[in-house]
């Protein structure tokens, strides 16, 4: 393992929106680790990242970062379609891996990544940072202690403010908003129920992105998905992009003897009242602020897992199961019918008789 004064050398690959959050964490200091390099194929982004992070070493080719002997671990935050290639290369180079969600494009890719990390004996962690968020963790603990009885239904939503980038409109290439925003909801639903999703029925529609309608008729900016779990529990996930007003991620867990609500919308909990505007409660603008501490805890735990040689709290199997559900959801939208979630993507199929 690459250690400097007993610290693990980290390189963040992909210095975009999410990459810079991880990179700032490691630059500011994660105990037991040190940011030694940053990699981004886009020269101006790399330059700006190096300037902001005050890190000497920058690589335009991720392969050069993997050849750097000071790098013991990488955080992979490139567009999703590149995750498989870079994770497999990193594992083969003996680097521990924290890979952002969605893990990959399909289950076959996930399997390659899991196998490569297992063969190399390196940690593979997936970036479901809600599992490190204080409110989500506290709620999960209380549900597990039986405070609301047995879980019956999990509702989870994520609504994001941004207008999608062009690559996201082709859902066959991007896996669409189900992958980009709802991967988190799928993972949280599995986490809270302790059960796997076996069947989904999803509908999608494009309500806010008229610019994409003609060229990408399958693109949806709003999705609603009903889920059946293997033990009979029920789930409902909804996702939206391009909402404009802010970032919203909430869960409602209904049990046999109660209900629990998780997540917040308000910025800093300040409510202002005035005669002109009435009651005004600012919306959280971005996941970047809402989950800042969760990202820090996630990065800390990644380093601890490596140092203590224990399995990641959120591993390859979690990433893989979420990808299987995303793929089934997109099939359901395109086929307009319920789809069984089959961990083998070539066999995911409509429910007979539907
Ligand atoms: N956990 C979360 O909540 C969360 C939030 C946002 C994004 N993400 C995930 O993080 C990943 C990146 O998303 P983003 O919004 O930061 O994207 P982004 O477009 O802002 O950043 C991606 C960066 O990767 C760089 N890049 C592209 N190809 C590369 C290559 N071959 N080598 C090195 N760098 C390369 C780009 O130049 C860009 O700077 C996606 O998988 C996304 O789903 C996760």
Mean pLDDT, residues 198-204 taken together? 98
Q: What's the CA-to-centroid distance between 51 and ligand 1, angstroms? A: 19
Residue 347 has pLDDT above 50, yes or no: no
pLDDT above 90 as % of the chain: 79
Q: Is the pLDDT of residue 96 over 50?
A: yes
Indicate the top mutation candidate among 47, 79, 82, 314 to test ligand 1's pocket, ranked by most ligand atoms within 8 A of CB: 79
Q: Is the CB of 62 under 6 A from ligand 1?
A: yes
**218 CA distance to ligand 1 centroid (A)?**
23
Give the per-residue SS3 of 167-220: HHHCHHHHCHHHHHCCHHHHHHHHHHHCCCEEEEEEEEECCCCHHHCCCCCCCC
Q: Give yes or no for residue 281 having a pLDDT over 70.
A: no
Cα 111 from chain centroid?
Answer: 18
End-to-end Cα distance, the chain: 53
Residues 6+ apart with CB under 8 A from 275: none
pLDDT at position 3:
52
Q: Per mean pLDDT, which range of 17-31, 221-235, 241-255, 272-286 is the poorest?
A: 272-286
Q: Apex CA 87: angle with CA 85 and CA 91, to 5°?
A: 120
**pLDDT above 70 (res 117):** yes
CA-closest candidate to residue 83, choices 21, 18, 34, 33: 18
Q: Which two tokens stand for residue 294?
A: 């969760």
Average pLDDT over residues 163-188: 91
CA-based nearest residue to 124, from 132, 114, 133, 138: 114
Strand, coil or helix: 34: strand
Query: Residue 280 above 50 pLDDT?
Result: yes
pLDDT for position 345: 54
Q: Please report the pLDDT score of residue 267 as a whole number.
A: 55
Q: Residue 172: pLDDT above 80?
A: no
Residues facing residue 156 across a β-bridge: 237, 251
Report the nearest atom of ligand 1 relative to the CA of 61: 32
User: Is the distance from the beta carbon of residue 183 to the nearest atom of ligand 1 less than 6 Å?
Assistant: no
């Amino acid at each position: 393992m690459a250690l400097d004064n007993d610290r693990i050398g980290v390189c963040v690959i992909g210095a975009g929106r999410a990459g810079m959050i991880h990179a700032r964490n490691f630059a500011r200091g994660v105990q037991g680790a040190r940011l030694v390099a940053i990699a981004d194929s886009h020269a101006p982004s790399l330059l700006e990242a190096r300037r902001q992070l005050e890190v000497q070493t920058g690589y335009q080719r991720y392969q050069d970062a993997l050849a750097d002997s000071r790098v013991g671990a990488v955080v992979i935050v490139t567009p999703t379609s590149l995750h498989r290639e870079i994770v497999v290369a990193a594992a083969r180079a003996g680097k521990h891996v924290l890979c952002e969600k969605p893990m990959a494009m399909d289950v076959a890719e996930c399997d390659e990544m899991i196998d490569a990390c297992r063969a190399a004996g390196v940690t593979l962690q997936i970036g479901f940072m809600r599992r490190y968020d204080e409110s989500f963790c506290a709620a999960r603990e209380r549900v597990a202690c039986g405070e609301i009885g047995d879980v019956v239904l999990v509702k989870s939503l994520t609504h994001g403010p941004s207008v999608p980038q062009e690559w996201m409109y082709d859902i066959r290439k991007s896996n669409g908003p189900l992958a980009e925003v709802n991967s988190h909801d799928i993972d949280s639903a599995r986490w809270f129920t302790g059960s796997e999703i076996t069947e989904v029925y999803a509908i999608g529609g494009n309500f806010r992105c008229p610019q994409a309608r003609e060229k990408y008729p399958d693109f949806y900016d709003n999705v609603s998905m009903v889920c059946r779990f293997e033990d009979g529990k029920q789930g409902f996930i909804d996702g939206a992009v391009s909402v404009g007003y802010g970032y919203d991620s909430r869960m409602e867990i209904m049990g046999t003897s109660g209900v629990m609500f998780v997540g917040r919308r308000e910025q800093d909990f300040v409510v202002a009242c005035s005669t002109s505007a009435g009651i005004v409660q600012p919306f959280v603008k971005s996941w970047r602020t809402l989950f800042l501490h969760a990202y820090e805890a996630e990065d800390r735990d990644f380093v601890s897992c490596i140092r203590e040689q224990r399995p990641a709290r959120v591993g390859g199997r979690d990433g893989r199961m979420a990808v299987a559900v995303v793929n089934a959801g997109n099939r359901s939208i395109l086929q307009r019918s319920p789809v069984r979630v089959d961990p083998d993507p070539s066999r995911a199929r409509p429910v007979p008789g539907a």
